[in-house]
Chains A and B, each alone.
Chain A
């Protein structure tokens, strides 16, 4: 099984709908991140969390919310999806000064 698992892998949704992307990890890391990837823009940080009671906004948090349900689970929600939120979304985990470990990604299309 993958160390960082994202569900769903692909999703098509309509404008205005609420959608949740889920992430779970078995690495035991305290830090979890949500990134968005767009062509030519690299990865941009949406939210990050150091533990269940610690949630921080990243550089592009508008239109998104997150929930850290447990150390191993970190979900991203789009309250009212819009077409420019169409992107590839990645969850990642990390610890201290180590490298980040990424999930396989969720390809979200908002029509």
Chain B
């Protein structure tokens, strides 16, 4: 069965330090992987995606993510965190084996960036 795991409910980091938000997935076929961000009282905003090609993908607001097929991971990273990055982050997967019918979301990770 398809699933996405975000093992950390919350990540705390100081402004200016690098940040990582972890995501692992399980699919029957080839995955399409996504990261979304949610600010309070807002919908989910798309950050970046991995479809194929280079394992390191770059997205909005300086975020990037690395696809690791052997570890079935797609961790979100940023070299230098900003206080304004504080939000709820969701990892999601679409399964090629499922004909890309559905998005499967993780439970979310709250990122707190302290000044």
Contact = CB atoms under 8 A, between A and B. Distances in A.
22 contacts: A35-B105, A40-B108, A41-B107, A42-B4, A42-B90, A42-B105, A42-B108, A43-B44, A43-B90, A43-B105, A56-B101, A58-B102, A90-B43, A90-B44, A92-B44, A99-B34, A100-B34, A100-B44, A102-B43, A103-B43, A104-B43, A105-B42
Contacts of B108: 40, 42
Name A's interface SS. strand
B45 to A, nearest CB: 8
A97 B43 contact: no
A105 B94 CA distance: 22
A92 B105 CA distance: 13
The 10 lowest CB-CB distance pairs between A and B, nearest first, are A102-B43, A42-B107, A43-B105, A102-B44, A42-B105, A104-B43, A99-B46, A97-B100, A42-B108, A105-B43
Interface of B: 4, 6, 9, 32, 34, 36, 41-46, 49, 51, 90, 92, 94, 96, 100-103, 105-108
Contacts of B105: 35, 42-44
Contacts of A94: 103
Contacts of B9: 40
Contacts of A43: 44, 90, 103, 105
